[in-house]
Amino acid sequence: MAGCEVEGCLSPLHGNRWCQAHYRRFKKYGDPLGAAPVTTTKREECAVVGCAHPANGAKGLCEGHYYRLRRYGDPLAGRTANGATSAFLFSLLDVKPTGECVLWPYARTYDGYGKTFIDGAHISAHRAMCIMAHGQPPSDIHEAAHSCGNGHEGCVSPWHLRWATPAENAADKVAYGRQQSREAHPRAKLTEEAVAVIRRKETGVTISDLATKFGVSKSTVAMVRSGRNWRG
């Protein structure tokens, strides 16, 4: 039985000259060795600088940036480009010391503090800045504290940040009117003096005695003694 005329093809004839596969190519492309025509037209890229995605949305944008444009009114709104937040923080290290706050221009928490995503983990922007400017914290409990009192407004100035203990940071917030002192809190039942007495752990004085004396529960006294309440 005669075989396909295409050199090297051993398949049986389907028509007068070629096998079934080569005959289909001939019918489709006009050549038994033909294939789909290769397009050399380069697709236009998204108009956003640095975006290599094709502009298959409207206004010369890719689908992602066009979606953001429609939702936020800005093709760059919403999710921040990879590396942009880190680059912004690093750029502040070259800025001369100034008394002016530098406000975080990207995503923030519900209470106004900047947030970012670095090395695969979510982190507060001001803490990331403190690490870059002043090194790792002295201990696991140290917090990135603001000397300007504007952390809630998103300040990430490296010159306004330092490492502080939770008690020091809380004192800063009280000083700037951001937080009431524990003693001034309307629900506070203990004064600083009472806390000092409780932690003195005098011989013969029980938790029950202290609870009765200061009009609080025994669990409150226990938490004060253990440091789980009224830290400082």
DSSP-derived secondary structure for 11-37: PBPSSSSS-HHHHHHHHHHSSTT--PP
Which CATH number, 2.60.40, 2.30.30, 3.90.75, 3.40.1000, labels domain 84-175? 3.90.75
Exposed/middle/buried for residue 217 (C-beta within 10 Å: 0-12, 13-18, 19+)? exposed
For the whole model, what pTM was predicted?
Answer: 0.46
Mean pLDDT of successive 10-residue stretches along the chain, which has 232 residues: 75 79 82 63 68 73 75 63 76 82 84 81 89 91 88 90 86 64 47 73 79 80 67 44
Q: Is 216 left (phi over 0), alpha (psi -120 to 50) or beta?
A: beta
pLDDT at 50: 57
Residue 182: predicted pLDDT:
46
- Cα(196)–Cα(190) distance, rounded to whole angstroms? 10
- Write down the pLDDT at residue 131: 92
